[in-house]
Amino acid sequence: MEPQTWLKSEAAEQAYEPRRRRGLHVGLSGKLLFLTIIFVMLAEILIYVPLIANFRLNWLNDRLAAAHTAALVLDAAPSGMVPESLAQEILDSIGARAVAMKMGNQRRLLAAANVPSAIAQDIDMRNVSWWRAIVDAFDTLFFCRPGDAVRVVGPAPMAGGQFLEIVLDEAPLCNAMLAFSVNILLLSLAISGIAAAVVYFALHYMLVRPMGRITQNMVAFRADPENPARIIALSGRRDEIGTAEEELGAMQRELASSLHEKNRLAALGLAVSKINHDLRNLLASAQLFSDQLSTSADPKVQRFAPKLMRALERAVAFCQSTLSYGAAQEAPPDRKTIPVEPLIDEVHEALGLGLDVPIRWIVALERELTVDADHDQLFRVLLNVARNARQALESRGQRDPARDQIRITGRREGSVVVIEISDTGPGVSEKAQAHLFQAFQGSTRAGGSGLGLAIAAELVRAHGGDIRLVPGTIGATFSIRIPDRAVDLDAHRGQRARA
């Protein structure tokens, strides 16, 4: 890695370090553990609410069941007379202060001891709704006071009885509910701890660790994106984590390739700028010598000197604009109405296709076809495409002078001029077609850079046209479409008025 790139990566990593420490102060694992405990406790609370209400009802039903037995014993006593000591033992066994039963229109007190003067609450166990049971349970749990008594009503144990009622102290019920709540709390803490640990370790190994691995890879790749070793290694998972790894790996490979291509372009630009400086000086010297050749009286020299001077002028201009593709934009086209046929002849001469080159050059243009374009830029477009055609024909191992040909056709379709350049070569591969007009990616032959088609596409687009590969043809056929400029009607009327 170059020193500048290394320093930039180090600076980026140092700048990212404080953000990384702040962002990961409470890690994903800690948040997961905390949320798991909270959710388990919430679930236990939702379970506790009906449990405490059911516990209260069961406690009261147990007292009523004991009172049922006591009522049968007391009612079976001769003349209903029960010794006071036995009645007290029966009341103590069921934890009640009084037991009474209503039969017909009479309410009979079966046993009583220390009956309170006031009753804090009446509880009818014959018809209790779930909502009323929950409200009464929390009322008992939070608002009971020492010495409060409640009257509990339930069904009578024998035929002819309407209901049985007992008077109880509320404090034992409240103490039993508190003890039950403490046991539920301890059990909930144990269950939540076990559940949180199981969920934590399961999610940690299934999600947190893979996400931590992906995060570490992203941090490492950000520090040195051009290092192939920093691209994430796939774990082979078939779930969303595996998909994220595959997409991240593909993105990293594309980014690394783009950065490598960018560095390549930068290095190429520096090399070309150095070569351009010396080559321009050499061409300038050759141009001086060609000026001296123009004074020669030799007819052959007089014939070829203008063409040589024109070629040198173009070469100097090309050297001057060599970096235009990568470093700057092409100059806007200086559009004029030019004939197409002489331009095609110039391209033929620049390619050097003479009698010693076994490639047929076929031109089929509409009569007096003209195009609204920049002469030099359109020359570059046609030359680049035609040179690719010649190189494609020459790249074949077997040469067939009767078959090898480059064909150029031209026609006008309304306000659009269409020029097609085709060859009988091997055609364009599918791999090259995917990036046909991209520099260093769309080369149609081994060792090519793809700059010719990229520059041609840029120049055609500057004219408002397009260039494309025509599918389904023998060899390769490129279609170039250049529209005429729109006419300013006001300016046109002004010119006619002045005329």
Residues 15-64: pLDDT tens digits? 444 444 444 455 666 777 778 778 877 888 888 899 999 999 999 988 88
Same domain, 59 and 122: yes
Same domain, 345 and 460: yes
How far CA 191 is from CA of 44, 47, 203, 282, in Å, comes to: 9, 13, 18, 88
Residue 219 lies in a domain: no
Residue 6 lies in a domain: no
**Domain limit, last residue, from 189, 206, 221:** 189
Q: How far apart are CA 287 and CA 281, in angstroms?
A: 10
Question: Total domain count for the chain?
Answer: 3
Same domain, 316 and 395: no
Range list of β-strands (E), 77-136:
96-103, 106-112, 121-124
pLDDT of residue 460: 94
pLDDT of residue 447: 47
Q: How big is the chain by its Cα radius of gyration, in Å?
A: 50
Same domain, 339 and 302: no
How far CA 85 is from CA of 77, 78, 82, 95, 116, in Å, comes to: 14, 16, 8, 15, 19
Residues 60/125, Cβ–Cβ less than 8 Å: yes
Same domain, 297 and 413: no
Range list of β-strands (E), 283-377:
336-339, 360-365, 370-373
Q: How far apart are CA 41 and CA 195, in angstroms?
A: 10
Q: How far apart are CA 64 and CA 164, in angstroms?
A: 8
Secondary structure (3-state) at 136: helix
Instruction: Name residues of the chain where pLDDT drops below 70.
Output: 1-29, 75-83, 157-161, 269-297, 300-305, 307, 309, 312, 314-330, 354-357, 397-402, 439-450, 487-499
Residues 467/476, Cβ–Cβ less than 8 Å: no
Q: How far apart are CA 12 and CA 416, in angstroms?
A: 52
Neighbours of 465 (CB within 10 A): 21
Residue 240 lies in a domain: yes
Residue 24 lies in a domain: no
Q: How far apart are CA 181 and CA 52, in angstroms?
A: 7
Same domain, 348 and 469: yes
Same domain, 481 and 452: yes
Q: How far apart are CA 392 and CA 351, in angstroms?
A: 14
Name the burial class of residue 403, with classes exposed (0-12), middle (13-18) and buried (19+) by CB atoms within 10 angstroms of its CB: middle
Same domain, 459 and 388: yes
Half-sphere exposure of 336 (CA within 13 A, CB side): 6
Tokens of 120: 């804090």
Q: What global pTM score does this model have?
A: 0.44
Same domain, 127 and 182: yes
**Domain limit, last residue, from 294, 328, 362:** 328
Residue 207 carries which DSSP code? I
How far CA 48 is from CA of 16, 55, 120, in Å, comes to: 48, 10, 26
Tokens of 224: 């040195």
Bridging pattern class, strands 476-483 and 416-423: antiparallel
Residue 277 lies in a domain: yes
pLDDT of residue 189: 81
Q: How far apart are CA 91 and CA 190, in angstroms?
A: 39
Same domain, 400 and 387: yes
Same domain, 152 and 176: yes
Instruction: Identify the H or E element spanning 455.
Output: helix 451-462
Domain that holds residue 465: 332-498
Q: How far apart are CA 112 and CA 103, in angstroms?
A: 18
Neighbours of 20 (CB within 10 A): 12
Nearest CA among 187, 191, 198 for reference residue 33 = 198
Residue 215 lies in a domain: no
Same domain, 315 and 343: no
Tokens of 20: 């990384």
Q: How far apart are CA 377 and CA 365, in angstroms?
A: 20
Residue 2 lies in a domain: no
Nearest CA among 454, 14, 460, 15 for reference residue 261 = 454
Secondary structure (3-state) at 106: strand
**CATH code assigned at 467:** 3.30.565.10
Tokens of 448: 């090519």
Residue 213 lies in a domain: no
pLDDT of residue 417: 96
Residues 120/149, Cβ–Cβ less than 8 Å: yes
**Domain limit, last residue, from 265, 299, 328:** 328
